[in-house]
Structure 1
């Protein structure tokens, strides 16, 4: 079962992990080379996602070179489906070739045009679903100096795992537990309601219904509930089914007036 956790080093990654790596200035080619070399040690096929010309050569020259999936700028907007299809093809090939799994390093560089947070979240949710269903290891590297604080906060919330000693831990995390199923853990309150709203909107943008598990959710306040309802209403015909909510959450939901057929969010038994 996937659970949220923090990592202190890249060699702590496990199969199925999707890591938000806040790359400090000291994060050099040596660290990424070590990550690639560790893949060879464990029998993983390595894929590097990023702009062309930014390859990370293997530390051991006898090791296989990483598979480069080079896309101009930031993959994840119009190219998201194409990118995921290529990753799945490489994963199937890795199985045939006898690899244990695939190990992905996605280097996140902003593009000239502003990136909508929801577009970026939609990609990260797809990558998380990919990691969950395939058992792949996916590490997404963000340099904090290149991104605004709000975008990084939104991004971190949809990675179940994080690395970066200076990174504040997000109040909640939303991560895949199956196709169109997401677990939400931690606290969803007024401070992170905007990020939660963006994450749910990204999850429902291409499917009519998603399921959220609240089993490990510690708290959701009035702002968090409003953010959830607003996200479900953002696009017509969308529906969110919440499973595993506590009796307290159910009672607050009813008292807030959300237990109504017109609200596209259902607290399931």
Structure 2
């Protein structure tokens, strides 16, 4: 079962991990991921780089090895194109005898043409891909290039984090099955906006999704409103909540949502 955790270095990644890497200001993607790349060769994984390889002169040169693939940076804003290309490379890698793929990408604001919503959608789909295939996906963000609310939104949809100020966000939402998302931590007024945005991206992918609240500690009124608002944002969409503790279910009932809103079904 996937579980949220912080990593000290990329050496600690495991199959199925999806990592939000907050890069140091002077970091270079491939130079600082050298160990990650070397471990790919050690364990028999193919390296897939999305959107370029950075400018570090001491970085390895990916095109010199058949174990490398660099995907066109012009397509990084197109979620469907990115996912199709990554899935195709994963299938090819398996046919070629590789154990899995290691996806490495440095996010840039200019690639987020559709805004936070499109980037959240892409991150959630990459998380599903990692969960289903056992691939390792590392998404690097330079904090200096992003505003803090956007970074918080992105961190919340990665089950694993590493790097500068990589403290655990208030909650995490990550894939644990087909159209199923585990929610971990606390959803209060500070995290409600990020939760709402993540849910909107998730329900755009399927008419019904399941949220597992087994490891959710608490959700306050703002969090419950964010849940209902996301469900209502798209007609004929439903959110099934499973594994909620007694306190969460009681608060939901007292808030009047149980009887008033069929778009969200709160179960035990």
Pick which of 243-252 and 127-136 moved more: 243-252
**1:115, distance to aligned residue in structure 2 (A):** 4.6
Secondary structure of the residue aligned to 2:258 is coil
Structure 1 SS opposite 2:259: coil
The match for 1:227 is 226
- The 8 Å contact of residues 159 and 174 in structure 2, kept in 1 or not, is answered as yes
Shift of 1:169: 2.1
Per the alignment, residue 117 of structure 1 pairs with 116
- Supply the distance in 2 between the matched residues of 1:165 and 1:54 (Cα, whole angstroms): 19
**Unmatched runs of 5 consecutive residues or more in structure 2:** none
What's the counterpart of residue 242 of structure 2? Answer: 243
C-alpha distance in 2, partners of 1:60/1:119?
A: 28
Are 2:200 and 1:198 aligned?
Answer: no
Q: Per-residue CA shift, 1:146-202, capped at 9, x if unaligned?
A: 001010000000000000142332100000001110000000011110000101011
TM-score, normalisation: structure 1: 0.92
Match for residue 129 of structure 2?
A: 130
Residue of structure 1 in register with 2:8 after alignment: 8
Shift of residue 257 of structure 1? Answer: 0.3
Match runs of 1:1-269 below 5 Å: 1-28=1-28, 29-51=30-52, 54=54, 58=60, 63-72=65-74, 75-76=76-77, 79-111=78-110, 115-260=114-259, 262-269=261-268
How far, CA to CA, are the matches of 1:180 and 1:231 in structure 2?
A: 16
SS at match of 2:234: coil
Aligned equivalents of 1:174 and 1:61: distance in 2?
Answer: 35
The 2-side partners of 1:203 and 1:227 are apart by: 13
TM-score, normalization by structure 2: 0.92
Between the aligned partners of 1:26 and 1:2, the Cα distance in structure 2 is 32
Between 1:149-158 and 1:82-91, the stretch displaced more is 82-91
Deviation at residue 268 of structure 1 after TM alignment: 2.3
State the distance in 1 between where 2:9 and 2:232 align: 40
Aligned residues: 265
Change (3 A) 1:8 1:59: farther
Structure 1 unaligned blocks of 5 or more: none
1:86/1:100 Cα in 2 relative to 1: closer, same or farther (>3 Å)? same
Larger helix proportion of the pair: 2
Q: Following TM superposition, by how much is the alpha carbon of 1:27 offset from its aligned partner in structure 2, in angstroms?
A: 2.0
Query: What stretches of structure 1 move > 6 A for 4+ residues in a row?
Result: 59-62
The superposition leaves residues 60-110 of structure 1 with CA deviations (integer Å, 9 ceiling, x where unpaired) of 99854520111327x24xx21121111111111111111111000011011
